[in-house]
Amino acid sequence: MRVPLSWLRDYVDLPQDLSTQQLADRLTAFDLKLEEIVSSGVSGPLVVGRVLSLVKEPQKNGKTINWCRVDVGPEHNEPATDDVPAGRGIVCGAHNFVEGDLVVVSLPGTVLPALGFEITARKTYGHVSDGMICSLAELGLPGDASGIIVLEPGRAEPGDDAIALLGLDQEILDLEVNPDRAYALSMRGVARDAGLALGVPFRDPAGLEPHTGEGAGAYPVSVEAPDACPVFTTLTVTGFDPSRPTPDWMVRAVEGAGMRSISLAVDITNFVMLELGQPIHGYDKAALRGPIVVRQATEGEKLTTLDGVTRTLAASDLLICDDRGPIGLAGVMGGEEVELSATTTDVVVEAAYFDPATIARTARVHKLPSEASKRFERGIDPTIATAAATRVAQLMVELGGATLEPGVTVVGEPPAQPVIHARADLAARVTGIDIDAATAVSALEGNGCAVEVDGDELAVTPPPWRPDLTDPYDLAEEVLRVVGYDQVPSILPVAPAGRGLTKAQRLRRRAGMVLAGQGLVEVKTFPFAGPADLDRLGLDAADDRRRQVLLENPLSAEEPGMTTTLLVGLLKAAVLNLGRGHSDVALVETGRVFLPGERELEAPIYGVDRRPTDEELAALDAALPRQPWHVGLVMAGHRERPGWYGAGREVTWADAVETVRVLAASFHVDVEVRAADVRPWHPGRCAEVVVDGVVVGHAGELHPRVVRDWGLPARTVAAEVDLDALVAAAPEQGPAPSFSTFPVAKEDLALVVDDAVPSAVVHDALAGSGSVVESVRLFDVYTGEQLPEGKKSLAFSLRLRASDHTLGDEEIKAAREAAVAVAAEAAGATLR
Partner 1 sequence: MSAPNSEYDPVEVTPLRADEVERARDEALAAIAEASTLEQLKQVRLDHAGDRSPLALANREIGALPPQARKEAGQRVGQARGAVSKALAERTTVLEAEAEEHALAEETVDVTLPWDRTPRGARHPLTTVQEHVADIFTAMGWEVAEGPEVEAEWLNFDALNLGPDHPARTMQDTFWVTPEKAAMVLRTHTSPVQARTMLTRKPPIYVAVPGRVFRTDELDATHSPVFHQVEGLAIDEGLTMAHLKGTLDHFAQAIYGEGTTTRFRPSYFPFTEPSAEMDLLCYVCHNEPGAVAECRTCRGEGWIEWGGCGVVNPRVLVACGVDPERYSGFAFGIGLDRTITGRYDIADLRDLIDGDIRFTEAFGVEL
Q: Report the site for partner 1 in 522-541 (rule: CB under 8 A).
A: 522-527
Say if residues 171 and 23 touch (Cβ distance below 8 Å). Answer: no
- Name the one range near partner 1 by CB under 8 A: 271-279, 397-405, 488-496, 532-540: 488-496
At its nearest, how many Å lie between partner 1 and the CB of residue 106? 30
Task: Specify the residue, 484 or 734, whose C-beta has the smaller distance to partner 1.
Answer: 484
Task: Specify the residue, 542 or 608, whose C-beta has the smaller distance to partner 1.
Answer: 608
Task: Specify the residue, 89 or 519, whose C-beta has the smaller distance to partner 1.
Answer: 519
- Name the one range near partner 1 by CB under 8 A: 36-44, 495-503, 535-543, 809-817: 495-503
3-state secondary structure of 307: coil
Say if residues 443 and 479 touch (Cβ distance below 8 Å). Answer: yes
- Name the one range near partner 1 by CB under 8 A: 25-33, 51-59, 86-94, 762-770: 25-33
Q: What kind and span of H or E run contains 639?
A: strand 638-640
Q: According to the binding rule CB under 8 A, does residue 711 interact with partner 1?
A: no
Q: According to the binding rule CB under 8 A, does residue 604 interact with partner 1?
A: yes
Task: Specify the residue, 346 or 655, whose C-beta has the smaller distance to partner 1.
Answer: 655
The residues facing 7 across adjacent strands are: none
Task: Specify the residue, 75 or 614, whose C-beta has the smaller distance to partner 1.
Answer: 614
Task: Specify the residue, 315 or 781, whose C-beta has the smaller distance to partner 1.
Answer: 315
Q: According to the binding rule CB under 8 A, does residue 239 interact with partner 1?
A: no
- Within 8 A by CB and 6+ apart from 678, the residues are 686, 688, 698
At its nearest, how many Å lie between partner 1 and the CB of residue 114? 22
Indicate the burial class of 234 (C-beta count within 10 angstroms; 0-12, 13-18, 19 or more).
buried
Residue in 580, 597, 786, 809 binding partner 1, rule: CB under 8 A? 580
Rounded Cα–Cα distance for residues 335 and 340 (Å):
10
At its nearest, how many Å lie between partner 1 and the CB of residue 627? 5
Count of C-beta atoms within a 10 Å radius of residue 52: 17
At its nearest, how many Å lie between partner 1 and the CB of residue 412? 22
Cα 643 from chain centroid (whole Å): 49
Indicate the burial class of 453 (C-beta count within 10 angstroms; 0-12, 13-18, 19 or more).
middle
Residues numbered 162 to 221 that lie near partner 1 (CB under 8 A) are: 178-181
Q: What kind and span of H or E run contains 486?
A: none
Query: Residue 303's closest CA among 291, 292, 317?
Result: 317
Evaluate the omega torsion of the peptide bond into residue 596 and state whether it is cis, within 30 degrees of 0: no
Residue type, position 654, single letter = A
Q: According to the binding rule CB under 8 A, does residue 603 interact with partner 1?
A: yes
Q: According to the binding rule CB under 8 A, does residue 577 interact with partner 1?
A: yes
Q: According to the binding rule CB under 8 A, does residue 496 interact with partner 1?
A: yes
Task: Specify the residue, 74 or 500, whose C-beta has the smaller distance to partner 1.
Answer: 500
The residues facing 143 across adjacent strands are: none
Angle between helix 503-517 and helix 653-666 axes, rounded to 10 deg: 140
Rounded Cα–Cα distance for residues 606 and 620 (Å):
10
Task: Specify the residue, 522 or 817, whose C-beta has the smaller distance to partner 1.
Answer: 522
Write the interaction track for partner 1 spanning residues 354-393; mark x where CB under 8 A is met and - where it is not: --xx--xx--x------------x----------------
- Three-state SS for 418-477 is CCEEEECCHHHHHHCCCCCHHHHHHHHHHCCCEEEEECCEEEEECCCCCCCCCCHHHHHH
3-state secondary structure of 249: helix
At its nearest, how many Å lie between partner 1 and the CB of residue 354? 13
Rounded Cα–Cα distance for residues 705 and 571 (Å):
14
Residues numbered 415 to 444 that lie near partner 1 (CB under 8 A) are: 429-433
Task: Specify the residue, 547 or 816, whose C-beta has the smaller distance to partner 1.
Answer: 547
Residue in 4, 334, 569, 632 binding partner 1, rule: CB under 8 A? 569
Alpha carbons within 13 angstroms on the beta-carbon side of residue 53 total 11
Residue in 2, 33, 546, 832 binding partner 1, rule: CB under 8 A? 33
Q: According to the binding rule CB under 8 A, does residue 694 interact with partner 1?
A: no
Q: According to the binding rule CB under 8 A, does residue 622 interact with partner 1?
A: no
Residues numbered 329 to 358 that lie near partner 1 (CB under 8 A) are: 356-357
Residues numbered 768 to 787 that lie near partner 1 (CB under 8 A) are: none
Q: Return the DSSP state at 484.
A: -
Rounded Cα–Cα distance for residues 310 and 31 (Å):
40
Q: According to the binding rule CB under 8 A, does residue 745 interact with partner 1?
A: no
Q: What kind and span of H or E run contains 56?
A: strand 46-58
Residue in 474, 672, 774, 811 binding partner 1, rule: CB under 8 A? 474
- Three-state SS for 773-832 is EEEEEEEEEECCCCCCCCEEEEEEEEEECCCCCCCCHHHHHHHHHHHHHHHHHHHCCEEC
Task: Specify the residue, 168 or 476, whose C-beta has the smaller distance to partner 1.
Answer: 476
Residue in 152, 486, 732, 789 binding partner 1, rule: CB under 8 A? 486
At its nearest, how many Å lie between partner 1 and the CB of residue 624? 6
Q: According to the binding rule CB under 8 A, does residue 262 interact with partner 1?
A: no
- Name the one range near partner 1 by CB under 8 A: 413-421, 443-451, 485-493, 699-707: 485-493
Q: According to the binding rule CB under 8 A, does residue 493 interact with partner 1?
A: yes
Task: Specify the residue, 361 or 536, whose C-beta has the smaller distance to partner 1.
Answer: 361
Task: Specify the residue, 117 or 644, whose C-beta has the smaller distance to partner 1.
Answer: 644
CA distances from 227 to 39, 296, 313, 464 (A): 44, 10, 19, 17
Write the interaction track for partner 1 spanning residues 787-816; mark x where CB under 8 A is met and - where it is not: ------------------------------
Rounded Cα–Cα distance for residues 172 and 183 (Å):
18
Residue in 37, 286, 314, 521 binding partner 1, rule: CB under 8 A? 521
Residue in 497, 542, 557, 756 binding partner 1, rule: CB under 8 A? 497
Q: According to the binding rule CB under 8 A, does residue 26 interact with partner 1?
A: no
Residue in 147, 325, 612, 828 binding partner 1, rule: CB under 8 A? 612
Residues contacting partner 1: total by CB under 8 A: 111
Q: What kind and span of H or E run contains 203?
A: none
- Name the one range near partner 1 by CB under 8 A: 142-150, 553-561, 710-718, 754-762: 553-561
- Name the one range near partner 1 by CB under 8 A: 140-148, 198-206, 302-310, 567-575: 567-575
For 359, list phi and psi in degrees, rounded to 5.
-70, -40
At its nearest, how many Å lie between partner 1 and the CB of residue 697? 19
Task: Specify the residue, 161 or 180, whose C-beta has the smaller distance to partner 1.
Answer: 180
The residues facing 51 across adjacent strands are: 70
Residue in 154, 489, 784, 790 binding partner 1, rule: CB under 8 A? 489
3-state secondary structure of 626: strand
Say if residues 702 and 681 touch (Cβ distance below 8 Å). Answer: yes
* Dihedral sign for Cα atoms in the order 150, 152, 154, 155: negative
Q: According to the binding rule CB under 8 A, does residue 609 interact with partner 1?
A: yes
C-alpha angle 619/621/626, rounded to 5°? Answer: 130
The residues facing 687 across adjacent strands are: 675, 699
Task: Specify the residue, 602 or 810, whose C-beta has the smaller distance to partner 1.
Answer: 602
Task: Specify the residue, 241 or 471, whose C-beta has the smaller distance to partner 1.
Answer: 471
Residues numbered 265 to 294 that lie near partner 1 (CB under 8 A) are: none
Rounded Cα–Cα distance for residues 527 and 508 (Å):
18
- Name the one range near partner 1 by CB under 8 A: 27-35, 438-446, 693-701, 821-829: 27-35
Say if residues 55 and 69 touch (Cβ distance below 8 Å). Answer: no
